[in-house]
Amino acid sequence: MNRFNIRVYGILINDRNQVLLAKEREKGYMFTKFPGGGLEFGEGLIDCLKRELEEELGIQAEIGELFYLTDFFQQSVFHKDHQLISVYYRVYYEDWDDIPLVAFTEGTDDLETFFWQPLSHFTPDLLTFPVDKIVAEKLHMNAFPGNRSEHAR
């Protein structure tokens, strides 16, 4: 059955000019991505991201401006009959040092850890999924406007 899978992610940049990334193991598959996750039925995009940040990081952050929305077909890595629509927002938070960097999913082998990556050493190659790589390139171009890549959309 062909379905849409809507994913909502946060771009958190701390006062040290570092971006927060998540390293996850799910169903035996390791990947690195931005914090966030799947939209649930009856939920708005911002409510989804607030819920995901509370579940993953235990924080109640301010959701800022829309940063990126996919504008092309992207097939899901996990479900070949799903089309991904990914939405990225800037996220603002005051107590960056309060963000936990390790979280486990109870009762499973799944693992989620977080780490701060300096923007000066942040490249799309650090991320696993194609849409995240595009967002990383756009973020890098915003942080360092003189840098342009042939991969930029």
**Count of alpha carbons within 13 Å of 36, Cβ hemisphere only?**
26
- Domain with residue 47: its CATH number is 3.90.79.10
Q: Are 46 and 67 contacting, i.e. CB atoms less than 8 angstroms apart? A: no
| Domain presence at residue 31 | yes
pLDDT of amino acid 148:
41
| Domain presence at residue 113 | yes
Number of domains the chain is built from: 1
| Domain presence at residue 131 | no
Rounded Cα gap, residues 130 and 33, in angstroms: 10
Residue numbers of the domain that contains 54 = 3-121
Angle at alpha carbon of residue 73, lines to 47 and 38, rounded to 5°: 25
| Domain presence at residue 141 | no
| Domain presence at residue 150 | no
| Domain presence at residue 152 | no
| Domain presence at residue 18 | yes
Residues β-bridged to residue 118: 18
- Nearest alpha-carbon partner for 138 in 121, 126, 151, 127: 151
Segment 78-94, tens digit of pLDDT: 778 888 899 999 999 98
| Domain presence at residue 42 | yes
Segment 95-141, tens digit of pLDDT: 888 887 865 555 556 678 899 999 999 999 999 999 999 999 998 77
Segment 20-47, tens digit of pLDDT: 999 988 777 889 999 999 999 999 999 9
Give this prediction's pTM: 0.85
**How far is CA 52 from its chain centroid?**
10
